[in-house]
Amino acid sequence: MNGPPGPDGPPGDGEMELFDLRVTVERIEGRGVCGLAVGDFVEVVDSNRLRIPQGRHFCLYALSAVLPLLPAKQRQLPPGDWLEQDSLVACPDPDERLVMRISRTRRIRLRTGDLT
């Protein structure tokens, strides 16, 4: 985005680019108690929508571990930023030791005025 904010809203062309994301269970190193299996996933699409495959679920506590990182992973970060390089997140359940990977699936362009 370019330039200072105008009287009617955000600066520049009023558009931004984000990535859609997929959070995938990469491995389970402990005892699996939440019903997730390696390969299960949840997606974040169109900036803020969660999508879970029909007939599947995703553990709320595992999801809570990745939620704070998602807004940053949706954006292009500088190459040296640790979050640009790291994509693994552990579930907070110490007995389960479930590890998830955050992957970017596609770049999307959104109108800033359509978002809050």
Residue 50 in contact with residue 109, Cβ under 8 Å?
Answer: no
Enter the pTM of the model.
0.82
Task: Report the length, in residues, of the chain.
Answer: 116
Low-confidence residues in the chain, pLDDT < 50: 1-11
pLDDT on residue 112: 76
pLDDT on residue 116: 63
Instruction: Please give the backbone phi and psi of residue 58, each rounded to the nearest 5 degrees, phi first.
Output: -140, 130
Within 8 A by CB and 6+ apart from 85, the residues are none
pLDDT on residue 13: 60
